[in-house]
Chain A
Amino acid sequence: MTDNRLIGLVLVFAPLSLLSFGGGQAVVADIGHQTVGVQQWLTGPQFQDMFAISRAAPGPSTLIAALIGYQVSGFLGAIIATLAIYVPSSIVVYYISKWWQNHPVSLIKTAVENGLAPVAIGLIFAGAVAVIESAPITALTLATTAACTAVLFYTKVSPYLLVLGVAATYLGIVFVV
């Protein structure tokens, strides 16, 4: 049972590691679909909580894998999921970085950069939808999302300060209401 879950964690996160073009944002949608829908390790609201914690925590946002691993299979699960999400991509980056240094082929480089952008954009928006639909939507959360999108797009406010501010506001609402 536990072993199956550990193998399951590897099978979910290792392929995502190799295909996470566009960074951690791009794999959020698939992490949600896999852990909630396919494997049923988490409920929708639990997944949304994991996403929230990973946004509030320091460091790379892909560490959501560690949180999910911990939730699914304890400390060992956290380690396995973290290795699964970082090791495959790191090996690829290591070898391609070495290759890239010796072959700065501009044409292929341009093509790769231009070609990956549309795919990454599609996945980033899919990630936003996956988090939104994983828990009941309220007018308050919709307003929060809209306001944060606007603030981060038009100003240079640090996303982390904004997240902290939102957490404080919601805590305030809990105590007042």
Chain B
Amino acid sequence: MLLPKSLHKNTNIKIKRVGFSVADTQDQTVERVLVTPTLFQIFMAFLKIGVTSFGGSSRAQMYDESVERHAWLTEKDFLTGFAVAQVLPGANPVNLALYIGLRARGRLGATIAVLGMVIPAFCIILLMGFAYKQLSDYPATHFVLGGVAAAGVGATLAIGVKVTTRLERHVLPILTALIVFGVVGLLHWPMVPVVLVAVPFSVGLAYVKARKQAAETGK
């Protein structure tokens, strides 16, 4: 374990932890002093991300803000959070914000990060909802929104296709995806019971397989 050299002793930032991250100078790992942000800084950072992120761009913005620019947490820590946010239920960007806030400032930081992500964006979408109520008598409104929805479906499908190409090419995972799609998408079964059955089944299968692979490589 590398120990920090005497870094920035004269700066007045609060030094709490020391992390490592790849520096801009080529192939040299440079220690970076992690900075503990104030709650206000957390709120403002996520407010900015909340109102300027559209369709998936928020991850890159969060990385930039929390690792590159401010060094609130290490890159490795960020990637762990990324995986956690992806795997757990909930909106991915909100989960990731919560994780970053938690790492930087504990429970309060997590709360502030989520509020920063949600409240301003909530106000904007409500204004849009209000405008929609005023304009919903005009056929043109529905026509234009129909186009936007069609584009949104395109975005959803593109994400679906991208994730599908990364799926393991085995019968059971593919069958699971098809069955879930069939019963929820085509037969309109409620999602809650379907997910409650499908997730333990699918994770259980993946666990058995991961253990088998681990045993084989262990030999």
Binding site for B on A (CB under 8 A): 15-21, 23-25, 27-30, 33-34, 37, 45, 48-49, 51-63, 66-67, 70-71, 75, 78, 82, 85-86, 89-90, 92-94, 96-98, 100-101, 104, 107-132, 135, 138, 140-142, 144-149, 151-153, 158-160, 162-163, 166-167, 169-171, 173-174
Contacts and interface: CB of A to CB of B under 8 A. Distances in A.
B165 to A, nearest CB: 9
A153 B162 contact: yes
Interface of B: 50-58, 80-81, 83-95, 98-99, 102, 107, 110, 114, 117-118, 120-122, 124-126, 128-130, 132-133, 136, 140-164, 166-168, 173-174, 176-182, 184-186, 188, 190-192, 195-196, 198-199, 202-207, 209-211, 214
A121 B145 contact: no
Contacts of B132: 49, 53
Contacts of A53: 125, 128-129, 132, 145, 148
Main secondary structure of the interface of B (DSSP, over half): helix
Main secondary structure of the interface of A (DSSP, over half): helix
A121 B136 CA distance: 33
Contacts of A70: 126, 129-130
A94 B195 contact: no
Given A59-B117, A86-B114, A153-B158, A118 B151 contact: no
A21 B153 contact: no
Given A61-B91, A67-B129, A162-B151, A48 B121 contact: no
Nearest to A166: B151
Contact of B126 (A17, A61, A78, A146): A78
A135 to B, nearest CB: 6
A92 B102 CA distance: 13
Nearest to A38: B190
Nearest to A171: B144
Nearest to B167: A117
Which residue of A20, A107, A119 has the most chain B CB atoms within 10 A of its CB atom?
A119
Given A51-B149, A89-B88, A152-B155, A163 B55 contact: yes
